[in-house]
Amino acid sequence: MKLVGASPTAEISNKVRALTAAGHSVINLGEGELDFATPEAICEAGIAAIRDGDTKYTAVAGTAELKAAIQRKFARENSLSYEPSEIIAGAGAKQLIFNALLATLASGDEVIVPAPYWVSYPDMIRLAGGEPVIVQCSAAESWKLTPAALSAALTPQTKWVILNSPNNPTGAVYSNAEMKALTDVLLGHDGVLIMADDIYEHVRFEGEFATPAAIEPALKARVLTVNGLSKGYSMTGWRLGYAAGPAWLIEAMQVLQSQSTSNPSSISQRAAIAALDGGIGFMADWIETLRQRRDIVLAALGKIDGLHADTPEGAFYVFADCSKLLGTARPDGRVISSDLEFASYLLETAHVGVVHGSAFGAPGHVRIAYAVDTETLRTACDRIVDACAKLH
Ligand code: PLP
Protein backbone atom coordinates (compact mmCIF):
# COMPACT_ATOMS: atom_id res chain seq x y z
CA MET A 1 0.00 0.00 0.00
CA LYS A 2 3.01 2.30 0.44
CA LEU A 3 3.36 2.34 -3.36
CA VAL A 4 -0.08 3.79 -4.05
CA GLY A 5 -2.30 6.69 -3.05
CA ALA A 6 -5.99 7.49 -2.99
CA SER A 7 -7.54 8.63 -6.28
CA PRO A 8 -6.89 12.41 -6.56
CA THR A 9 -10.27 12.98 -8.19
CA ALA A 10 -11.97 11.38 -5.18
CA GLU A 11 -9.89 13.61 -2.89
CA ILE A 12 -11.04 16.78 -4.70
CA SER A 13 -14.63 15.56 -4.33
CA ASN A 14 -14.06 15.10 -0.60
CA LYS A 15 -12.75 18.69 -0.29
CA VAL A 16 -15.75 19.93 -2.28
CA ARG A 17 -18.10 18.08 0.08
CA ALA A 18 -16.33 19.57 3.13
CA LEU A 19 -16.59 23.14 1.78
CA THR A 20 -20.24 22.57 0.85
CA ALA A 21 -20.95 21.23 4.34
CA ALA A 22 -19.37 24.45 5.72
CA GLY A 23 -22.05 26.40 3.84
CA HIS A 24 -20.18 27.45 0.66
CA SER A 25 -21.72 27.17 -2.79
CA VAL A 26 -19.10 24.98 -4.44
CA ILE A 27 -19.20 23.79 -8.05
CA ASN A 28 -17.32 20.58 -8.70
CA LEU A 29 -15.78 20.45 -12.15
CA GLY A 30 -13.47 17.74 -10.90
CA GLU A 31 -15.62 14.68 -11.27
CA GLY A 32 -15.80 12.53 -14.42
CA GLU A 33 -19.51 11.96 -14.21
CA LEU A 34 -22.29 13.26 -16.45
CA ASP A 35 -25.23 15.06 -14.87
CA PHE A 36 -27.72 13.46 -17.31
CA ALA A 37 -30.26 11.01 -15.90
CA THR A 38 -29.90 7.39 -17.00
CA PRO A 39 -32.44 6.98 -19.85
CA GLU A 40 -35.89 5.92 -18.67
CA ALA A 41 -36.10 2.64 -20.62
CA ILE A 42 -32.84 1.47 -19.08
CA CYS A 43 -34.06 2.33 -15.57
CA GLU A 44 -37.32 0.47 -16.28
CA ALA A 45 -35.34 -2.64 -17.23
CA GLY A 46 -33.55 -2.48 -13.88
CA ILE A 47 -36.83 -2.03 -12.03
CA ALA A 48 -38.34 -4.96 -13.95
CA ALA A 49 -35.35 -7.10 -12.93
CA ILE A 50 -36.10 -6.38 -9.27
CA ARG A 51 -39.82 -7.08 -9.74
CA ASP A 52 -39.05 -10.33 -11.61
CA GLY A 53 -36.90 -11.51 -8.71
CA ASP A 54 -33.72 -11.26 -10.75
CA THR A 55 -31.92 -10.41 -7.54
CA LYS A 56 -29.63 -13.40 -7.07
CA TYR A 57 -26.07 -14.41 -7.96
CA THR A 58 -25.50 -14.91 -11.67
CA ALA A 59 -22.65 -16.51 -13.61
CA VAL A 60 -19.45 -14.75 -12.49
CA ALA A 61 -18.68 -13.24 -15.92
CA GLY A 62 -22.29 -12.17 -16.53
CA THR A 63 -25.47 -13.87 -17.72
CA ALA A 64 -25.69 -15.55 -21.13
CA GLU A 65 -28.25 -12.88 -22.12
CA LEU A 66 -25.89 -10.04 -21.23
CA LYS A 67 -22.97 -11.70 -23.04
CA ALA A 68 -25.19 -12.05 -26.12
CA ALA A 69 -26.04 -8.31 -25.95
CA ILE A 70 -22.32 -7.51 -25.63
CA GLN A 71 -21.58 -9.75 -28.65
CA ARG A 72 -24.22 -7.83 -30.64
CA LYS A 73 -22.75 -4.51 -29.54
CA PHE A 74 -19.23 -5.43 -30.67
CA ALA A 75 -20.52 -6.80 -33.98
CA ARG A 76 -22.79 -3.82 -34.70
CA GLU A 77 -20.63 -0.92 -33.53
CA ASN A 78 -17.07 -2.19 -33.92
CA SER A 79 -17.26 -5.02 -36.52
CA LEU A 80 -15.69 -7.30 -33.92
CA SER A 81 -16.79 -10.87 -33.32
CA TYR A 82 -16.29 -12.58 -29.96
CA GLU A 83 -17.36 -15.92 -28.45
CA PRO A 84 -19.06 -15.89 -25.03
CA SER A 85 -15.85 -17.38 -23.57
CA GLU A 86 -14.04 -14.23 -24.77
CA ILE A 87 -16.35 -11.83 -22.89
CA ILE A 88 -16.60 -10.83 -19.24
CA ALA A 89 -18.78 -8.29 -17.44
CA GLY A 90 -17.70 -6.73 -14.15
CA ALA A 91 -18.44 -3.94 -11.70
CA GLY A 92 -17.31 -1.16 -14.02
CA ALA A 93 -14.50 -0.89 -16.55
CA LYS A 94 -12.30 -0.06 -13.58
CA GLN A 95 -12.66 -3.50 -12.03
CA LEU A 96 -11.97 -5.21 -15.37
CA ILE A 97 -8.81 -3.18 -15.99
CA PHE A 98 -7.66 -3.96 -12.46
CA ASN A 99 -8.43 -7.68 -12.83
CA ALA A 100 -6.61 -7.88 -16.16
CA LEU A 101 -3.49 -6.27 -14.68
CA LEU A 102 -3.61 -8.32 -11.49
CA ALA A 103 -4.10 -11.53 -13.46
CA THR A 104 -1.09 -10.96 -15.72
CA LEU A 105 1.59 -8.82 -14.07
CA ALA A 106 4.58 -10.23 -12.24
CA SER A 107 7.41 -8.35 -10.58
CA GLY A 108 9.55 -6.60 -13.18
CA ASP A 109 6.83 -6.49 -15.84
CA GLU A 110 6.44 -3.10 -17.49
CA VAL A 111 3.25 -1.41 -18.64
CA ILE A 112 3.46 1.46 -21.10
CA VAL A 113 1.13 4.28 -20.10
CA PRO A 114 0.96 7.35 -22.35
CA ALA A 115 0.69 10.57 -20.31
CA PRO A 116 -1.56 12.41 -19.66
CA TYR A 117 -3.28 9.28 -18.34
CA TRP A 118 -6.34 8.30 -16.34
CA VAL A 119 -5.26 8.62 -12.71
CA SER A 120 -5.83 4.97 -11.79
CA TYR A 121 -3.58 3.21 -14.33
CA PRO A 122 -0.19 3.71 -12.64
CA ASP A 123 -1.49 2.86 -9.17
CA MET A 124 -3.31 -0.24 -10.42
CA ILE A 125 -0.12 -1.37 -12.18
CA ARG A 126 1.90 -0.89 -8.98
CA LEU A 127 -0.74 -2.69 -6.90
CA ALA A 128 -0.48 -5.62 -9.32
CA GLY A 129 3.31 -5.69 -8.85
CA GLY A 130 4.23 -4.17 -12.21
CA GLU A 131 6.13 -1.07 -13.25
CA PRO A 132 4.38 1.81 -15.04
CA VAL A 133 6.50 3.17 -17.90
CA ILE A 134 5.14 6.66 -18.49
CA VAL A 135 5.55 8.00 -22.02
CA GLN A 136 5.04 11.75 -22.12
CA CYS A 137 2.84 13.00 -24.97
CA SER A 138 2.77 16.68 -25.87
CA ALA A 139 0.12 19.24 -26.63
CA ALA A 140 2.00 19.88 -29.88
CA GLU A 141 1.18 16.27 -30.89
CA SER A 142 -2.46 16.79 -29.80
CA TRP A 143 -1.60 14.78 -26.68
CA LYS A 144 -1.30 11.57 -28.70
CA LEU A 145 1.24 8.78 -28.43
CA THR A 146 3.44 8.72 -31.54
CA PRO A 147 4.71 5.48 -33.13
CA ALA A 148 8.30 6.62 -32.49
CA ALA A 149 7.65 7.22 -28.77
CA LEU A 150 5.90 3.84 -28.49
CA SER A 151 8.81 2.06 -30.22
CA ALA A 152 11.31 3.72 -27.92
CA ALA A 153 9.39 2.67 -24.79
CA LEU A 154 9.01 -1.03 -25.69
CA THR A 155 11.47 -3.37 -23.94
CA PRO A 156 11.65 -7.16 -23.46
CA GLN A 157 9.90 -6.52 -20.11
CA THR A 158 6.87 -4.81 -21.67
CA LYS A 159 3.73 -6.77 -20.80
CA TRP A 160 1.00 -4.28 -21.71
CA VAL A 161 0.46 -1.06 -23.59
CA ILE A 162 -2.58 0.92 -22.47
CA LEU A 163 -4.37 3.00 -25.10
CA ASN A 164 -7.29 5.23 -24.18
CA SER A 165 -9.29 7.04 -26.87
CA PRO A 166 -11.18 9.31 -26.43
CA ASN A 167 -8.74 10.19 -23.71
CA ASN A 168 -9.25 11.19 -20.11
CA PRO A 169 -8.02 13.88 -19.31
CA THR A 170 -7.22 15.47 -22.70
CA GLY A 171 -10.23 14.52 -24.85
CA ALA A 172 -7.81 13.46 -27.62
CA VAL A 173 -9.33 11.03 -30.14
CA TYR A 174 -7.07 8.84 -32.28
CA SER A 175 -7.99 8.62 -35.97
CA ASN A 176 -7.96 5.27 -37.76
CA ALA A 177 -4.62 6.17 -39.34
CA GLU A 178 -3.08 7.21 -36.01
CA MET A 179 -4.25 4.00 -34.35
CA LYS A 180 -3.01 1.93 -37.30
CA ALA A 181 0.43 3.51 -36.99
CA LEU A 182 0.54 2.33 -33.35
CA THR A 183 -0.76 -1.18 -34.08
CA ASP A 184 1.85 -1.46 -36.87
CA VAL A 185 4.55 -0.96 -34.23
CA LEU A 186 2.94 -3.54 -31.93
CA LEU A 187 2.71 -6.17 -34.70
CA GLY A 188 6.46 -6.57 -34.34
CA HIS A 189 6.31 -7.25 -30.58
CA ASP A 190 4.70 -10.65 -30.06
CA GLY A 191 4.71 -10.84 -26.28
CA VAL A 192 2.98 -7.51 -25.70
CA LEU A 193 -0.68 -7.27 -24.71
CA ILE A 194 -2.75 -4.22 -25.65
CA MET A 195 -5.39 -2.76 -23.39
CA ALA A 196 -7.91 -0.62 -25.30
CA ASP A 197 -9.82 1.51 -22.80
CA ASP A 198 -12.82 2.49 -24.93
CA ILE A 199 -15.00 3.79 -22.09
CA TYR A 200 -15.55 7.18 -23.85
CA GLU A 201 -16.30 5.58 -27.26
CA HIS A 202 -19.59 7.39 -27.70
CA VAL A 203 -18.55 10.74 -26.26
CA ARG A 204 -17.09 12.22 -29.43
CA PHE A 205 -17.70 15.50 -31.23
CA GLU A 206 -15.47 15.01 -34.23
CA GLY A 207 -13.75 12.22 -36.01
CA GLU A 208 -13.94 8.47 -36.24
CA PHE A 209 -13.66 5.91 -33.46
CA ALA A 210 -10.66 3.61 -33.74
CA THR A 211 -10.23 0.55 -31.55
CA PRO A 212 -7.06 -1.54 -31.94
CA ALA A 213 -8.64 -5.01 -32.34
CA ALA A 214 -10.76 -3.75 -35.26
CA ILE A 215 -8.02 -1.61 -36.79
CA GLU A 216 -5.53 -4.50 -36.85
CA PRO A 217 -7.25 -7.92 -36.82
CA ALA A 218 -3.85 -9.63 -36.64
CA LEU A 219 -3.52 -8.23 -33.12
CA LYS A 220 -6.97 -9.30 -31.90
CA ALA A 221 -5.59 -12.29 -29.96
CA ARG A 222 -3.49 -9.85 -27.89
CA VAL A 223 -6.01 -7.09 -27.34
CA LEU A 224 -8.30 -6.65 -24.35
CA THR A 225 -11.05 -4.25 -25.37
CA VAL A 226 -12.59 -2.64 -22.29
CA ASN A 227 -15.82 -0.69 -22.37
CA GLY A 228 -18.80 0.01 -20.14
CA LEU A 229 -21.97 1.96 -19.57
CA SER A 230 -20.73 4.60 -17.13
CA LYS A 231 -19.87 7.40 -19.54
CA GLY A 232 -21.88 6.99 -22.75
CA TYR A 233 -25.10 5.96 -20.98
CA SER A 234 -24.62 8.08 -17.83
CA MET A 235 -24.72 4.96 -15.66
CA THR A 236 -21.73 5.46 -13.33
CA GLY A 237 -23.59 4.23 -10.25
CA TRP A 238 -24.86 1.05 -11.90
CA ARG A 239 -21.27 -0.24 -11.97
CA LEU A 240 -21.39 -2.20 -15.19
CA GLY A 241 -18.42 -2.62 -17.49
CA TYR A 242 -17.39 -5.33 -19.91
CA ALA A 243 -14.31 -6.56 -21.70
CA ALA A 244 -13.51 -8.85 -24.61
CA GLY A 245 -10.24 -10.55 -25.41
CA PRO A 246 -8.47 -13.89 -25.71
CA ALA A 247 -10.22 -16.71 -23.80
CA TRP A 248 -7.13 -17.49 -21.65
CA LEU A 249 -7.09 -13.92 -20.34
CA ILE A 250 -10.84 -13.71 -19.84
CA GLU A 251 -10.69 -17.02 -17.95
CA ALA A 252 -7.94 -15.69 -15.65
CA MET A 253 -9.92 -12.49 -15.01
CA GLN A 254 -12.97 -14.59 -14.25
CA VAL A 255 -11.09 -16.68 -11.68
CA LEU A 256 -9.94 -13.48 -9.97
CA GLN A 257 -13.45 -12.06 -10.05
CA SER A 258 -14.89 -15.32 -8.67
CA GLN A 259 -12.61 -14.96 -5.64
CA SER A 260 -13.25 -11.25 -5.11
CA THR A 261 -16.47 -9.55 -6.20
CA SER A 262 -18.29 -12.35 -8.09
CA ASN A 263 -20.82 -11.28 -10.71
CA PRO A 264 -21.71 -7.65 -11.34
CA SER A 265 -25.15 -6.72 -9.98
CA SER A 266 -27.90 -8.86 -11.52
CA ILE A 267 -30.10 -5.76 -11.72
CA SER A 268 -27.47 -3.74 -13.56
CA GLN A 269 -26.97 -6.63 -15.97
CA ARG A 270 -30.64 -6.52 -16.97
CA ALA A 271 -30.40 -2.75 -17.39
CA ALA A 272 -27.24 -3.19 -19.47
CA ILE A 273 -29.02 -5.52 -21.89
CA ALA A 274 -31.70 -2.85 -22.42
CA ALA A 275 -29.00 -0.20 -22.85
CA LEU A 276 -26.88 -2.12 -25.34
CA ASP A 277 -29.84 -3.37 -27.38
CA GLY A 278 -31.76 -0.10 -27.17
CA GLY A 279 -29.61 1.87 -29.59
CA ILE A 280 -27.64 5.04 -29.07
CA GLY A 281 -30.05 7.44 -30.76
CA PHE A 282 -30.62 9.38 -27.53
CA MET A 283 -26.93 10.26 -27.33
CA ALA A 284 -27.04 12.77 -30.20
CA ASP A 285 -28.80 15.32 -27.96
CA TRP A 286 -26.35 14.71 -25.15
CA ILE A 287 -23.38 15.19 -27.45
CA GLU A 288 -24.86 18.47 -28.71
CA THR A 289 -25.32 19.68 -25.12
CA LEU A 290 -21.77 18.62 -24.27
CA ARG A 291 -20.44 20.41 -27.34
CA GLN A 292 -22.13 23.64 -26.18
CA ARG A 293 -20.65 23.18 -22.72
CA ARG A 294 -17.21 22.48 -24.12
CA ASP A 295 -17.46 25.72 -26.09
CA ILE A 296 -18.55 27.64 -22.98
CA VAL A 297 -15.37 26.50 -21.20
CA LEU A 298 -13.19 27.30 -24.20
CA ALA A 299 -14.78 30.77 -24.51
CA ALA A 300 -14.08 31.41 -20.82
CA LEU A 301 -10.47 30.32 -21.24
CA GLY A 302 -10.24 32.75 -24.16
CA LYS A 303 -10.89 35.58 -21.67
CA ILE A 304 -8.05 34.52 -19.38
CA ASP A 305 -4.51 35.57 -20.01
CA GLY A 306 -2.37 32.61 -19.13
CA LEU A 307 -4.81 29.73 -19.43
CA HIS A 308 -4.99 27.91 -22.74
CA ALA A 309 -6.45 24.71 -24.21
CA ASP A 310 -6.90 23.33 -27.70
CA THR A 311 -10.36 22.11 -28.64
CA PRO A 312 -10.86 18.53 -27.38
CA GLU A 313 -12.53 16.11 -29.80
CA GLY A 314 -14.11 13.83 -27.22
CA ALA A 315 -14.81 12.90 -23.58
CA PHE A 316 -16.08 15.75 -21.37
CA TYR A 317 -12.89 17.42 -20.24
CA VAL A 318 -10.88 20.48 -21.20
CA PHE A 319 -7.21 20.06 -20.32
CA ALA A 320 -5.88 23.57 -19.88
CA ASP A 321 -2.28 24.73 -19.73
CA CYS A 322 -1.88 26.93 -16.64
CA SER A 323 1.93 27.15 -16.70
CA LYS A 324 1.87 30.88 -17.55
CA LEU A 325 -0.01 31.56 -14.32
CA LEU A 326 2.64 29.88 -12.19
CA GLY A 327 4.70 32.49 -10.39
CA THR A 328 1.78 34.93 -10.14
CA ALA A 329 0.47 36.03 -6.75
CA ARG A 330 -2.98 35.60 -5.24
CA PRO A 331 -4.79 38.62 -3.74
CA ASP A 332 -3.56 37.47 -0.32
CA GLY A 333 0.03 37.71 -1.63
CA ARG A 334 0.71 33.97 -1.75
CA VAL A 335 2.58 32.94 -4.88
CA ILE A 336 1.12 30.14 -6.96
CA SER A 337 3.98 27.83 -7.78
CA SER A 338 2.32 24.65 -9.04
CA ASP A 339 -0.76 23.36 -10.80
CA LEU A 340 -1.90 21.93 -7.46
CA GLU A 341 -1.67 25.38 -5.86
CA PHE A 342 -3.58 26.89 -8.78
CA ALA A 343 -6.32 24.26 -8.40
CA SER A 344 -6.37 24.92 -4.63
CA TYR A 345 -6.70 28.67 -5.29
CA LEU A 346 -9.70 28.07 -7.56
CA LEU A 347 -11.29 25.80 -4.97
CA GLU A 348 -10.65 28.06 -1.97
CA THR A 349 -11.50 31.43 -3.51
CA ALA A 350 -13.72 30.75 -6.54
CA HIS A 351 -15.24 27.65 -4.96
CA VAL A 352 -14.75 25.71 -8.17
CA GLY A 353 -13.18 22.26 -8.04
CA VAL A 354 -10.83 21.24 -10.89
CA VAL A 355 -8.11 18.57 -10.88
CA HIS A 356 -4.42 19.49 -11.12
CA GLY A 357 -2.61 18.08 -14.16
CA SER A 358 0.12 16.41 -12.08
CA ALA A 359 -2.48 13.85 -11.05
CA PHE A 360 -2.62 12.80 -14.72
CA GLY A 361 1.14 12.93 -15.24
CA ALA A 362 1.08 16.39 -16.84
CA PRO A 363 2.18 19.15 -14.43
CA GLY A 364 1.36 22.74 -15.39
CA HIS A 365 -2.21 21.89 -16.38
CA VAL A 366 -5.66 21.56 -14.89
CA ARG A 367 -8.54 19.34 -16.00
CA ILE A 368 -11.92 21.00 -16.18
CA ALA A 369 -14.81 18.49 -16.40
CA TYR A 370 -17.83 20.14 -18.06
CA ALA A 371 -20.25 17.45 -16.93
CA VAL A 372 -22.46 19.75 -14.83
CA ASP A 373 -25.62 21.46 -16.06
CA THR A 374 -25.09 24.34 -18.45
CA GLU A 375 -26.16 27.19 -16.12
CA THR A 376 -23.96 25.91 -13.30
CA LEU A 377 -21.10 25.60 -15.76
CA ARG A 378 -21.55 29.24 -16.85
CA THR A 379 -21.42 30.35 -13.21
CA ALA A 380 -18.30 28.25 -12.61
CA CYS A 381 -16.61 29.71 -15.69
CA ASP A 382 -17.43 33.28 -14.59
CA ARG A 383 -15.91 32.52 -11.21
CA ILE A 384 -12.73 31.10 -12.79
CA VAL A 385 -12.41 34.18 -15.06
CA ASP A 386 -12.83 36.51 -12.02
CA ALA A 387 -10.38 34.54 -9.88
CA CYS A 388 -7.71 34.55 -12.61
CA ALA A 389 -8.18 38.31 -13.18
CA LYS A 390 -7.20 38.83 -9.53
CA LEU A 391 -3.81 37.16 -9.97
CA HIS A 392 -0.90 39.54 -10.41
N1 PLP B 1 -11.28 4.40 -17.88
C2 PLP B 1 -11.24 5.75 -17.91
C3 PLP B 1 -10.33 6.41 -18.88
C4 PLP B 1 -12.05 6.50 -17.06
O5 PLP B 1 -12.01 7.84 -17.10
C6 PLP B 1 -12.91 5.82 -16.15
C7 PLP B 1 -13.74 6.58 -15.18
O8 PLP B 1 -13.48 7.69 -14.83
C9 PLP B 1 -12.92 4.42 -16.15
C10 PLP B 1 -12.10 3.75 -17.03
C11 PLP B 1 -13.79 3.62 -15.20
O12 PLP B 1 -15.10 3.55 -15.60
P13 PLP B 1 -16.16 2.66 -14.82
O14 PLP B 1 -17.13 3.59 -14.16
O15 PLP B 1 -16.82 1.80 -15.87
O16 PLP B 1 -15.46 1.81 -13.82
Which residue, among 254, 278, 189, 299, has the nearest Cα to 58 in the 3D structure?
A: 254
pLDDT tens track, the chain, 392 positions: 888 877 777 777 888 889 999 999 999 999 889 999 999 999 999 999 999 999 999 999 999 999 999 999 999 999 999 999 999 999 999 999 999 999 999 999 999 999 999 999 999 999 999 999 999 999 999 999 999 999 999 999 999 999 999 999 999 999 999 999 999 999 999 999 999 999 999 999 988 999 999 999 999 999 999 999 999 999 999 999 999 999 999 999 999 999 999 999 999 999 999 999 999 999 999 999 999 999 999 999 999 999 999 999 999 999 999 999 999 999 999 999 999 999 999 999 999 999 999 999 999 999 999 999 999 999 999 999 999 999 99
Question: pTM for the whole thing?
Answer: 0.97
Q: Output the ligand 1 site: residues, CB below 6 A.
A: 32, 92-94, 118, 164, 168, 197, 199, 228, 230, 236, 241
Name all contacts of 43-49 with Cβ < 8 Å and 24+ positions apart. Answer: 43/271, 44/274, 45/270, 45/271, 45/273, 45/274, 45/275, 46/238, 46/267, 46/268, 46/270, 46/271, 48/270, 49/266, 49/267, 49/269, 49/270, 49/271
CATH 3.40.630.30 fits 56-277, yes or no: no
CATH of domain 8-31+282-389: 3.90.1150.10
Q: To test the ligand 1 pocket, which listed residue (120, 163, 224) has its Cβ within 8 A of the most ligand atoms?
A: 120
The alpha carbon of 235 and the centre of ligand 1 are apart by a number of angstroms equal to 11
Which residue ranges make up each domain of the chain?
Answer: 8-31+282-389, 56-277
State the closest ligand 1 atom to the C-alpha of 9, by its place in the atom list counted from 1: 8
**Ligand 1, atom nearest to 229 Cα:** 15
Best of 33, 34, 94 for a ligand 1 pocket test (most atoms within 8 Å of beta carbon): 94
